[in-house]
Structure 1
């Protein structure tokens, strides 16, 4: 029976979409009739599974579509042709066909929808569409007869292979010019110089501000596809640098970078060094890191500006000669993912100065990258239990052997053809376990009459670039590239519209790098199709979890008790069997087991016992709070792993060293960095902590923004409050600490303290400033993120209040559960309805004092009140939008009732219900 409560659907954010209504109808109907002008994979791929399930249970499906304007994809028609039991006819005449009609019926009743939604991603989910529902039996019967009239029109033909072939040929002849790929491989500048994109303009402003403060080091963390190379060229031009060194570990990256710089720096001489090139007589040198080690000319040259591409590689030994070149140069490190699998913090190269950060989910949210449709395909062709698991990953030799089987290749091809692609032609990249695996997949596909090729790091750059050009060319038959050791980073092929994950992914960051290959905006493509072949193995859940975007405004997908939140217009579709497998893998390891496994993996990667700092920026690993929850202290974790430092063996539990180190693992919630700087000074200069305090700001120059002379910083008072009395007295640390720890004292202190210090810096100084218009309704924000959306960096001394004012904008941040607060601060805040929120002020506010009047009268033109609601303390706050004061009563405190502009959607009401009185 019809499950929807809506009589009309507009695909508004946070509300029911036509996609939801159609999926629901397919779930209960026995008979369906659809009439849609356009059928594209972007919509059909989201309905393939529910359509298949309806047909499998004996349901009947009639689908009428058209070739009008040549927007229907012939490949999508072939999928419909191959669905047993589905009847499809095509209106193929001169009459314009605009029908959009969805009809469902069963013995218990029926429903039909008419409106504007085609069988496309936009029509079903992301465009503003308007569809009206009818339930009356008379309407159901009338529209059935009308549909049957269209079904039998003279210009409507049964779908056949002959029809598809003819339509494809006609469509190809009349293909629109914008479908052709742009020229990406031109050696010389073409056309006018490009203008910076919105993301690049934001980053350029931040880099300029950083240089104006006298900083000489910066990192830009930006998702693949946002144009980091062009950004570097724009910033070189802005800085007026003349001697520029651009470094990467692959020649292929450098040739692409040289072309991008040529478009921007028209008056500069550009040269490449490495891979047989030795073009030293240039203003801007693009050099492989391997070529630098023996090149005395480059190592001896004085540079104005040094750029390290794919910056996350910079801790490798081959990059160390670069450090000598940075004395007088401005350093820009660029990466999509600074998190290294070996645990090294490459941000140390740039003094932890993150000039700009734009991760993949936010870039999709802002429309700067394509959305994706992710399909989790159950892969039971491979027995992963037979593959050895070492050092947190599968044995490559055994993995490639088990993956290179015909049954799996058949599954991959079948599913890839079924789910299709969106774009001028198929341009699919399959990420493989090894070169041998990639070669096997290409050969298997070619045997099945597909046009496939291998691309790997063993091929010359010219061969790889020719393959990339062919994949992008709509007139070239090449449609599949199977990749090994390349295409993870540094190469941009905007034409890619489909990605296959054909091996278990080692890390979330690698998965996102590979996903980013297909997310560039491209004419004729509105969505990236992603197929992940999920097997019975422990890392199966990591790739799905990597898609989670807490601030995403897209659909929520519940998986095994976990609510997956997605960026705008993105979808995750899991086969039923896939979801069962993921649930099993999710619950296979307890929190303790995950912590222990992550510890061992880190130890193997680092070659030493890890410390809490090694968890920083490793989102795929448990957090320090997870370890504290399981083991209470890091030493107890190491003891459980039989990995205690020698000085800790036999140390009693109440020893001051244990208490001291455990205290450093807690977040002290400090408003300023001074106490941490003083602690560092006490460790490095026990006889002269004031000098050590000053040296902290030289060692970590990113914190100069919070520097205050020690006597004015309040650091001593705060440190005395937070450290145990047994370790700090008379402005000295207890001698027993140094006697026991010796030379290990500073690494142990930094390895704990810097975990919180880094987090504090990111919260207070590392964020990009936004505007209120960038806020998304009903998504969670931390307090620092809220503040930054009003053009200000977060300051704990100013912004930890219930009401904040930013010019014409008032911000109310309140929580529903105040039971943990002092009795005098327990306020009653609750939703009276989806459109009405009741809020209690602090005790000093009245309806007549200045604070109360400022709130109650804040409704003039150009002014706004914004409401954020959190469930409990220390949780993110959901943005409820702009509100207006409806009424106020009482004083000190007063109760204010706010009217919301948009009602809280059902899922938000459920989320907040358990803490609402």
Structure 2
């Protein structure tokens, strides 16, 4: 055996945690020497240590009191493992303890990892860390040295006994008491800086204002700091008079305090407008909508330079509308976590369709705006069988879940995995009120102080329970609930979430998870325990955790088998083997594009919509984890056609009987999801104006993106004028516009449609959804020409639109290589269909993350013009754009899109007719995408 050396860093590909867990699962014995151990890191190793114990493997761990970073709680937990010997190196003033070494013993070799990582969640998963792994035989000098050094440290260290732990806990408590007052310095205004979300929002608000916009909306998950963001913007803009409007009085005082903290010494007076206070003369007034709606006439309509509506999703209500219509501020900002649509106007319309920012759960994790979560998917006990129960049959589900053994099992797992912080502050999500009551009673019987709440409990009762849970001095540890904590209620200190019911919807799952992600003093992570039964919809968990709007079987399966490695930061997802296999089997059986599946998904979403028919695409925009409505469009050519069919709705069917309307709706829907925004921005303008010039179109487009070239704006006008349509497309599509020189006007048929408010509403919904979805997925970046975003999904015909192709766009399909001038578009299938298991020898393949092998068509000779362009592409100025897909079809009759992986340059070639070309990619493939395209699951 040769010595092996590896550098282990934390990346999408791997991390130290993976190396440690796989080594613990296979070694004969282990020895750790680390400067400190936090519970956040230890929790991630618990299962691997337990597995080692079950195999009879023993270990020795040395840690230290260096800098007082080791948590007593972590030491307590390690002492519970009978297969571990634990010692502590007591550091003195002049002797530090810095070791970070992990040693694994095998039959005839040792594996040693030495580097920079202690046992904390960040060190094991997300920090920039270097750890060198050396695998070597027992008798090598280096190994002998390491073992001798470890033994010497072991002798110099003390046993972690009860007496030591008692003293150390007391010592840490005293330190925390002394130092907690010092942390107040961070509350001084000059020390508070915007987080990444707040910076982005402020930049976008500034961009909109420079374009003359007077309104904007910010959509961000609870806990991401919207109030601070607005205060930073006010700090920057310096308005003389400000009005801040909230829906609930308890938020008002906090908002005012935030502003006072961030804007000291500005000679600004702060006042309130509530039931008890009427500070009409203050510069910055903080008002509840209830009071303001009674007194706004006493204020000058032009008094305020800046008005902010917190919880802006209420702005569609009449009380707000009167206030909004009355005032004429210099700028108006709306902030919300859920942009729900009222029954009258859309919230987007109120804020002139200007979304300055949108932050969903995965963005918030990426930007470190919320705490990471450690998710443990645990196979439920055998006694619970949900395989033949409908997800809607709550009575039957409740009956089957009320099992004493399950209560014991849940408590056992809670104790095993533990929680962050001193006191457990836990929310348990149940199937029904009866289930919640049962769980609370059983937990109380077993000595864990618990309570249950539902929508039937009034607000004072809820607030009292929440206060008890949050208070370290109260005994209450768990609140079991059904529906009331899905959204809107904020309990920042929650450190544990129990998922005790089958997941019926990714939306609900994400809302429940989100309840515990709020940042809180000294809270470093959230523990999520999900008890996964044999229910038929278990795979929905994977869809929720994957966090991608569009998904297919392959990407989901790869995400599960790699432990959702693409999730950012110290977030950790671990499913036990049985749960993994169960979910993978369900995904294999499920047909995501079948009418049966789509109907189930639609009706589940309708329930989330309070039973109201979600007849608009924008209904899907408001929920993180909502189904992708484009899949419904793919089935029936427009979303309204799909709704009319599944709801058997006569009125909608009558509406769709108008041929011009139905064809127009289908044409607009066929462009979703948008790949470039220009065409829809122009159409959006034409909904209100009879015509648009090229300059006006450019101005409108710049409200959405940073830059645009004039030729692309004109190409969009030509496209809307049907210049590139073939005869079939012209028959299928009503002509909505007429191009006259550089001016695009509405056609008569478009005018007729817009006169009918119902037609206008549904047509505009497609435009609105297209624009906002584009903004969410592409941001305000300008991608040039061709207009491709790396790693985005495209169909062949998209390249014609993206590269301003001036001939029939339908010519862009059906061949492996298509060209527009100096741009060559290469469309490549890596494998045959997913269900064909035999190995096909394909010469097109990803060689590694930087290189690709591609074969031309049989007709291309090296001596031909096209052959020379491909072989000498750089010298000849030819751009080779690569589009790849793993399979042409994953599900029957559903053609998969291609993924754009950027440009490649030829570095060598061989053969002729076909020519085999080795390409170097201009962009290294991201690890997740590389795994997804190459891994067989």
Task: Supply the distance in 1 between the matched residues of 2:356 and 2:55 (Cα, whole angstroms).
Answer: 56
Task: Supply the distance in 1 between the matched residues of 2:318 and 2:393 (Cα, whole angstroms).
Answer: 25
Asked if 1:600 is matched to 2:599, the reply is: no
Q: Judging changes above 3 Å, is the alpha-carbon distance between structure 1 residues 233 and 121 closer, same or farther for their aligned structure 2 residues?
A: closer
**CA positional deviation for 1:208:** 1.8
Task: Supply the distance in 1 between the matched residues of 2:528 and 2:119 (Cα, whole angstroms).
Answer: 19
CA offsets, 1:411-452, max 9 Å, x none? 5554344333456x4573526569998898788777767788
Question: Counterparts in 2 of 1:606-617, with a 5 A limit?
Answer: 607-608=612-613, 610-616=615-621
Query: What is residue 102 of structure 1 aligned with on the other side?
Result: 102
Q: Is the 8 A contact 1:292 1:298 kept in 2?
A: no
Q: Is the 8 A contact 2:87 2:154 kept in 1?
A: no
SS at match of 2:460: coil
**CA positional deviation for 1:207:** 0.9
Query: What is residue 547 of structure 1 aligned with on the other side?
Result: 545
SS at match of 1:45: helix
**CA positional deviation for 1:879:** 7.5
Q: Is the 8 A contact 2:664 2:734 kept in 1?
A: no
**CA positional deviation for 1:572:** 0.6
CA offsets, 1:552-609, max 9 Å, x none? 9xx9974279966312332111233443554566568643333212333455636347
Query: What is residue 629 of structure 2 aligned with on the other side?
Result: 624
Task: Supply the distance in 1 between the matched residues of 2:385 and 2:349 (Cα, whole angstroms).
Answer: 38
**CA positional deviation for 1:355:** 1.3
Task: Supply the distance in 1 between the matched residues of 2:539 and 2:219 (Cα, whole angstroms).
Answer: 25
Query: What is residue 667 of structure 1 aligned with on the other side?
Result: 671
Query: What is residue 63 of structure 1 aligned with on the other side?
Result: 61
Q: Is the 8 A contact 2:360 2:624 kept in 1?
A: no
Q: Is the 8 A contact 1:64 1:88 kept in 2?
A: yes
Calculate the aligned-residue CA RMSD, in Å: 6.1
Task: Supply the distance in 1 between the matched residues of 2:869 and 2:587 (Cα, whole angstroms).
Answer: 52
SS at match of 1:241: coil
Question: Counterparts in 2 of 1:218-617, with a 5 A limit?
Answer: 218-266=216-264, 267-274=267-274, 279-295=279-295, 297=297, 302=302, 303-315=304-316, 319-325=320-326, 327-328=328-329, 330-338=331-339, 346-380=347-381, 411-422=409-420, 425-426=422-423, 428-430=425-427, 432=429, 458-459=459-460, 470=471, 480=477, 482=479, 485=484, 488-489=487-488, 493=492, 498-501=496-499, 508=506, 511-512=509-510, 515-516=513-514, 519=517, 526-535=524-533, 541-549=539-547, 558-559=559-560, 565-580=566-581, 582-583=583-584, 590-591=591-592, 592-603=595-606, 605=610, 607-608=612-613, 610-616=615-621
CA offsets, 1:740-780, max 9 Å, x none? x999x6535643563355324653699545799xxxxx994
CA offsets, 1:360-413, max 9 Å, x none? 433433445443322234455996959997xx8786x99999989876665555
SS at match of 2:63: strand
Q: Judging changes above 3 Å, is the alpha-carbon distance between structure 1 residues 451 and 65 closer, same or farther for their aligned structure 2 residues?
A: farther
Asked if 1:641 is matched to 2:646, the reply is: yes
CA offsets, 1:488-539, max 9 Å, x none? 458584x665555566677655654564565566776654443344455566
**CA positional deviation for 1:136:** 0.9
CA offsets, 1:437-474, max 9 Å, x none? 88987887777677888999723999699769845xxx
Q: Is the 8 A contact 1:299 1:325 kept in 2?
A: no
Q: Judging changes above 3 Å, is the alpha-carbon distance between structure 1 residues 870 and 134 closer, same or farther for their aligned structure 2 residues?
A: same
Query: What is residue 892 of structure 2 aligned with on the other side?
Result: none
CA offsets, 1:112-144, max 9 Å, x none? 434443322244333312233223132598479
2:769 to 741, 747, 758: 758
1:149 to 122, 136, 151: 151
1:23 to 13, 21, 41: 21
Q: Judging changes above 3 Å, is the alpha-carbon distance between structure 1 residues 93 and 607 closer, same or farther for their aligned structure 2 residues?
A: closer
Q: Judging changes above 3 Å, is the alpha-carbon distance between structure 1 residues 367 and 655 closer, same or farther for their aligned structure 2 residues?
A: closer
CA offsets, 1:230-276, max 9 Å, x none? 22123234444344332333322222211111123443333344575
Q: Is the 8 A contact 2:510 2:624 kept in 1?
A: no
SS at match of 1:254: helix
Query: What is residue 691 of structure 1 aligned with on the other side?
Result: 690
SS at match of 2:670: coil
List alignment gaps of at least 5 residues for structure 1: 773-777, 785-793, 804-810, 821-827, 857-864
Query: What is residue 137 of structure 1 aligned with on the other side?
Result: 138
Query: What is residue 78 of structure 2 aligned with on the other side?
Result: 80
Q: Is the 8 A contact 2:428 2:498 kept in 1?
A: yes
Q: Judging changes above 3 Å, is the alpha-carbon distance between structure 1 residues 651 and 829 closer, same or farther for their aligned structure 2 residues?
A: closer
Task: Supply the distance in 2 between the matched residues of 1:636 and 1:463 (Cα, whole angstroms).
Answer: 48
CA offsets, 1:283-315, max 9 Å, x none? 333333444554555798554433222334444
Query: What is residue 731 of structure 2 aligned with on the other side?
Result: 725
Query: What is residue 200 of structure 1 aligned with on the other side?
Result: 198
Q: Judging changes above 3 Å, is the alpha-carbon distance between structure 1 residues 676 and 575 closer, same or farther for their aligned structure 2 residues?
A: same
Task: Supply the distance in 1 between the matched residues of 2:465 and 2:667 (Cα, whole angstroms).
Answer: 54
Q: Is the 8 A contact 2:605 2:626 kept in 1?
A: no
Q: Is the 8 A contact 1:81 1:88 kept in 2?
A: yes
Task: Supply the distance in 1 between the matched residues of 2:184 and 2:437 (Cα, whole angstroms).
Answer: 28
Task: Supply the distance in 1 between the matched residues of 2:722 and 2:591 (Cα, whole angstroms).
Answer: 41
TM-score (norm 2): 0.71
Q: Judging changes above 3 Å, is the alpha-carbon distance between structure 1 residues 626 and 713 closer, same or farther for their aligned structure 2 residues?
A: closer
Per mean C-alpha deviation after superposition, the further-off stretch among 452-461 and 122-131 is 452-461
TM-score (norm 1): 0.73
Q: Is the 8 A contact 2:469 2:477 kept in 1?
A: no
Task: Supply the distance in 2 between the matched residues of 1:30 and 1:500 (Cα, whole angstroms).
Answer: 35
Q: Is the 8 A contact 1:888 1:897 kept in 2?
A: yes
Task: Supply the distance in 1 between the matched residues of 2:247 and 2:507 (Cα, whole angstroms).
Answer: 18
Query: What is residue 172 of structure 1 aligned with on the other side?
Result: 173
Q: Judging changes above 3 Å, is the alpha-carbon distance between structure 1 residues 242 and 716 closer, same or farther for their aligned structure 2 residues?
A: same
Per mean C-alpha deviation after superposition, the further-off stretch among 898-907 and 623-632 is 898-907
Task: Supply the distance in 1 between the matched residues of 2:343 and 2:3 (Cα, whole angstroms).
Answer: 51
Query: What is residue 747 of structure 1 aligned with on the other side?
Result: 758
CA offsets, 1:25-65, max 9 Å, x none? 22223433333332222221111112222322333334333
